[in-house]
Structure 1
Amino acid sequence: MPGVVSSDIPDGFTTRTGNDGTSDNPLLRLGHQALPKGQRPMGPPGVQRPSSRSLIASMTRSDSPRRFVPPTEQTRPSDLFHERKDFSINRFPRYFHKDDDRTMLVYIDGACLDQGDLSTAHRRRGGCAFVYCDSKPGQKLALEGTVGGSEQTSNRAELRAVLFFLQLRMWEAGGADRIVIATDSEYVVEGACGRIDTWIARDWRTANGSPVANRDLWEALRNELRIADEAQLSILFWRIPREWNARCDALAKEAANDTDRDAELGVVSGLMM
């Protein structure tokens, strides 16, 4: 498999290449089990606010159950999600829904430098990032380059941003039953909310019969969604305007501009935050 993983990883993170010999996709996180719903922390008495079934139902569409639906098109993530401490022992700050303590949001973005000019393809470099609260700087990761691996693109960077977040830690250990991924990437949202199922049904072929681009990343994302489904953890996707994702976009570009990159593509995990 292609590529390189970044060394732009804060202390406490680890990278792992390969996956115990059971697949040739080094981005598959195998053997991981999410924390079952019944084992997630509930919080101290009097702290948890109840949520209604109608509120939870209104967050998605029956024809696209992974697509997050805001109350209006003008509703911003900051209108619904505010920083609060989670229910873990460490009480980490997270974005939680103002009316539901079990729904958490994260901003995600990816960037690729020198993508527009084919003459500079050998210099392309991707980066990704996510932001999970106001009081912390977020996390960023420089991605694999073009030498010895797949050519970097913004689409790959955006998908890697989702994987970076989902694979980093057991987010549901703070009490979340739903995680809303807010991104300005149409490629990620439309792929995750429907196209991926069609591709799988066609044996990873598009409508015209050509191979699906970035199959390694889509396979890894499908694996993460399967793990979450088995643990009754809903992963929802919300496409937002780019200007609403400015903080995360800046972090992703910083990561893409980093020249210090590891030589192997692999899963990133950690024990921070």
Structure 2
Amino acid sequence: MQRIPRYLRTKRIADYDLFRAHIESRATTRSTQPFLPATFSPPSPQTLLPTNFTPPNPQATPTTLFEPRHFFLRDLPPIRRFVNRTDPSQCLVFTDGACIHHHRDKNNTKPPKAGWSFIFKPPHSTTKNGYFSARLETRGPEGETYPQTSNRAELRAVIAALRFIYYNDNVFDSVVVATDSKYVVHGATDWIQRWGSNGWRSVNGTPIKNQDLWQALLKEVGRWDADGKGVCFWWIRREWNVKADCLAKRAAREGAEVREWVDVGMPIWPIVEG
């Protein structure tokens, strides 16, 4: 029999029972769709796009709205996630991207290096896990070579987070992506619809940058939507995203070069966590 954490044994026991019932009811078979479709169709005006997450009050922070919780699923070890305090079917993930040496020196000796990270669970005294971070790949998901930029790293972090949570935490009805990148939030919830309808070109007729990653992001949102799940984006202050920022910068600075696109999201369930 699974051990119930101490903080769930008293006044939260009813909430725990409700949460566990919800989690077990959402244990579904995970999709094995390829990362990108053979042919990509731009979003139509009817395409359901991600939405902006609106906190109940302007002063709310991620820690006031989402709390660390354990939950249990069958005979697996307990899992910790950032769970909405009033809606146990919603989780939160922090994402960030960074690029160093993006202004090259005169001798061109320090090429730009980008890194990304996402944090999917709170820290725990018995483990250092709870996040993924890596250098940004030289090639995109379709095999083309692209420059190392902070915007690409920001998008890469979101794509990795959505795939990881979908395949390994497919028990939540919605996920809130917390990021300090307005480029990502505005692009995902507003601009991308206009870009797709305009053939992935700006109002000036120039090709949209990072089109491959925007299409990959749409693919992941569509995967969630096909299962009746929602994706929300929440722009947060940079000081609320310090850890993800540090992890992304460290990956850019110290991480080994990665040439080919790496998929961190395919099923690795069950995950042993503290």
- Normalising by structure 1, we get a TM-score of 0.72
Q: CA deviation at 1:258?
A: 2.4
Report Cα offsets for 1:46-99 as digits up to 9, x if no partner.
Answer: 342999xxxxxxxxxxx9861000112211010000011245343310000011
Is this contact kept in 2: 1:86–1:174, CA < 8 A? Answer: no
> Which structure's relative contact order is higher, taking Cα pairs within 8 Å and 6+ residues apart?
1
Which amino acid in 1 is paired with 2:132?
Answer: Q
From 183, 201, 206, the equivalent of 2:202 is 206
Q: CA deviation at 1:131?
A: 1.0
Which amino acid in 1 is paired with 2:87?
Answer: D
Q: CA deviation at 1:164?
A: 1.3
Identity between Structure 1 and Structure 2 (%): 35
Q: Which aligned pairs between 1:176-187 and structure 2 lie closer than 5 A?
A: 176-187=172-183
Which amino acid in 2 is paired with 1:208?
Answer: N
Q: Distance in 1 between matches of 2:146 and 2:207?
A: 15
Residue 93 of structure 1 corresponds to 80
Q: Distance in 2 between matches of 1:78 and 1:86?
A: 18
**Which structure would you say has the larger Rg?**
2
Is this contact kept in 2: 1:109–1:184, CA < 8 A? Answer: yes
In structure 2, do the counterparts of structure 1 residues 262 and 178 end up closer, same or farther at CA, with 3 Å as the change threshold?
A: same
From 36, 40, 46, the equivalent of 2:17 is 46
Question: Over aligned residues, Cα RMSD in angstroms?
Answer: 2.8
Q: CA deviation at 1:260?
A: 1.4
Aligned length: 219
Residue 37 of structure 2 corresponds to none
1:240 corresponds to 2:228: no
Residue 35 of structure 1 corresponds to none
- Normalising by structure 2, we get a TM-score of 0.72
In structure 2, do the counterparts of structure 1 residues 162 and 101 end up closer, same or farther at CA, with 3 Å as the change threshold?
A: same
Residue 61 of structure 2 corresponds to 76
Which amino acid in 2 is paired with 1:139?
Answer: F
Residue 139 of structure 1 corresponds to 132
Q: Gapped runs of 5+ residues in structure 2?
A: 1-14, 23-47, 124-128
Which amino acid in 2 is paired with 1:96?
Answer: V
Which amino acid in 1 is paired with 2:58?
Answer: E
Secondary structure of residue in 1 paired with 2:88: strand
In structure 2, do the counterparts of structure 1 residues 259 and 100 end up closer, same or farther at CA, with 3 Å as the change threshold?
A: closer
Is this contact kept in 2: 1:106–1:132, CA < 8 A? Answer: yes
Q: Which aligned pairs between 1:121-200 and structure 2 lie closer than 5 A?
A: 123-135=111-123, 136-145=129-138, 149-170=145-166, 173-200=169-196
Q: CA deviation at 1:174?
A: 5.0
Which amino acid in 2 is paired with 1:124?
Answer: P
Q: Gapped runs of 5+ residues in structure 1?
A: 1-43, 52-62
Is this contact kept in 1: 2:102–2:149, CA < 8 A? Answer: yes
